[in-house]
Chain A
């Protein structure tokens, strides 16, 4: 897999801590929603640091959007969110990963469950679904600590409609009908497809969140083979 040099052609602040970097990557071979890329930084003395980031955008020619969540004390993410500006070159390779993906030819209902920045590959799936004109029924549950952590809020509402359920675990917005609490079995069941519709389930977030949600889905009768997970560790595996 070859390293390519992309150019940063745009950046957007998505939340208090997350930034979208829009890259133009000559020769990009295309990607599937849910895949990730390796990004490599090189210091003047040749030292390198590489981390993986999920692609947030639907397949779109040579354009690739990454969302970088700034990890406190991280080595790579603070540089990407703080120092990189439009016009900078950035090395990347990929796409990587062929399991945690959604393909436009899938027609079954889709349940997406995101914890924190785990929303990124799931947003890519929603964007790919819209771009492909897919009729696949979709529901998205997105758990965040508070509203300032929510990425793509308006866009997710537009893409998933009534199928979009944000869950606030620490601080709910004023007037929000559900008090701030962790995602529980009843909320999850009410906001996702029941097992008898045989949905494909995608769960992405921190390890504890993914463990808990995957267990709830299995207890609710979902076939473990239809529950795909992607986790990042407590150290911020994407540092």
Chain B
């Protein structure tokens, strides 16, 4: 039973149907990170993909750039309640990175330069819904927003789109990542408002 806030009518800023419940629109690009922004030297940068059997693929920065890139325009929804619509990214689709990988894994654990981790079902990395992004708005991705490269999984809350992505490990069992271990939802669907674990 909701308590009516006497005299409150609200601002009802735009966004309409495009906004998941409990979100408000922003036009700038807030930064949320748990720690300092890591600085990653492109000469030493690598991305690894490790299957549950230990088979490993890796890409250098140059190798990643040589893969077919996609330009995508997506909406971002942060669990801290801002949403930013129509953001333009450039990156490599996870389907490309996963192509031909022999796996029965159902989950992925993503680790990052700086130590951040996040987990998600492998299915959410497939089907043209996830990218390793290195361009934003026509320019290289800035470090505070996850550059040189970050995961981009816009159909989930933004903490799943891990900044400074370094490795993706495919797993047969699920294992909570950084925010998932301290009270945030394991899956994080903004349209179902899965912000927190119901402890």
Interface of A toward B, CB cutoff 8 Å: 1, 5, 40-44, 46-52, 75, 79, 83, 88-91, 96-100, 207, 211, 214-215, 217-218, 224-225, 227-229, 231-235, 237, 239
Q: Does B14 contact A (CB under 8 A)?
A: no
A48→B81 CA distance, assembly (Å): 13
Residues of B within 8 A of A234 (CB): 28, 30
Contacts of A88 in B (CB 8 A): 6
Q: Kindly report which residue of chain B lies nearest to residue A214, judged by CB atoms.
A: B36
- Identity of the chain A residue whose Cβ is nearest the Cβ of B13 in the assembled complex: A75
A-B Cβ contacts below 8 A, count: 118
In the assembled complex, the Cα of A228 lies from the Cα of B2 at a distance in Å of 35
Contact, CB under 8 Å: A237 / B30:
yes
Residues of B within 8 A of A79 (CB): 5, 7-8
Q: What are 28 residue pairs bridging A and B, where the CB atoms are less than 8 Å apart in the complex? A: A1-B197, A42-B2, A43-B5, A48-B10, A48-B22, A49-B10, A49-B11, A75-B24, A96-B196, A97-B183, A99-B179, A99-B182, A207-B31, A211-B144, A215-B37, A218-B36, A227-B35, A227-B36, A228-B34, A228-B35, A231-B30, A231-B32, A233-B30, A233-B31, A233-B32, A235-B82, A237-B82, A239-B24
CA distance A50 to B12 in the complex (A): 12
User: With A43-B10, A75-B10 given, is the CB distance from A224 to B31 under 8 Å?
Assistant: no
Interface of B with A (CB < 8 Å)? 2-13, 22, 24, 26-38, 80-82, 114-115, 144, 178-179, 181-183, 196-199
**CB neighbours of A232 from chain B (8 A):** 30
List of A residues within 8 angstroms of B3 by Cβ: 5, 42, 89-91
Is the beta-carbon distance between B199 and A235 smaller than 8 angstroms?
A: no
Nearest chain-A residue to B22 (Cβ)?
Answer: A50
Partner of A214, one of B26, B35, B80, B197: B35
| The 8 nearest A-B residue pairs measured at CB | A233-B30, A98-B182, A214-B36, A75-B11, A41-B5, A207-B31, A42-B2, A235-B26
**Residues in chain A near residue B32, CB distance under 8 A:** 231, 233, 237
B36 touches A50 (CB 8 A): no
A227 to B80, CA, bound (A): 21
Of all chain B residues, which has the CB nearest A94?
Answer: B196
Q: Which of B11, B36, B199 contacts A217 (CB 8 A)?
A: B36
Query: Contact: A83 with B7, CB < 8 Å?
Result: yes
A75 to B13, CA, bound (A): 9
Given contacts A224-B38, A235-B82, contact A97 B4 (CB under 8 A): no
Contact B9 A211 (CB under 8 A): no
- CB A18 to nearest CB in B, in angstroms, measures 19
Are B10 and A233 closer than 8 Å at their CB atoms?
Answer: no
Are the C-beta atoms of B80 and A52 separated by less than 8 Å?
A: yes
What is the bound-complex CA distance between A215 and B37, given in angstroms? 8
In the bound assembly, the distance between CA atoms of A211 and B115 in angstroms comes to 17
- A215: contacting residue among B6, B8, B10, B36, CB under 8 A: B36
CB-CB under 8 A from A75, the residues of chain B are 10-11, 13, 24
With contacts A5-B3, A91-B2 taken as known, whether A41 is within 8 angstroms of B10 at the C-beta atoms is yes
Q: Once the chains bind, are A44 and B144 in contact (CB under 8 Å)?
A: no
Find chain A residues with CB under 8 A from B181 CB: 98
Chain B minimum-CB-distance residue to A50: B22
Is there an interface contact between B4 and A44, defined as CB atoms closer than 8 Å?
yes
Complex alpha-carbon distance, A97 and B4, angstroms: 27
Question: Which residues of the other chain, B, contact A52 by a CB distance below 8 angstroms?
Answer: 80-81
List residues of chain B with CB within 8 A of the CB of A5. 3
A98-B183, A229-B33, A231-B32 known; A42+B81 contact, CB < 8 A? no
- In Å, the complex CA distance between A100 and B33 comes to 11
Residues of A near B13 (CB, < 8 A) are 75
A83-B8, A235-B28, A237-B30 known; A51 and B37 CB under 8 Å? no
Contact B36 A43 (CB under 8 A): no
Interfacial chain A residues near B183, Cβ < 8 Å = 96-98
Q: Which of A47, A90, A214, A237 contacts B10 (CB 8 A)?
A: A47
Known contacts A47-B9, A227-B36, then 12 further A-B pairs from the complex at CB < 8 Å, ordered by chain A residue:
A5-B3, A43-B4, A43-B10, A44-B9, A48-B22, A83-B7, A88-B6, A91-B3, A207-B31, A218-B36, A228-B34, A229-B34
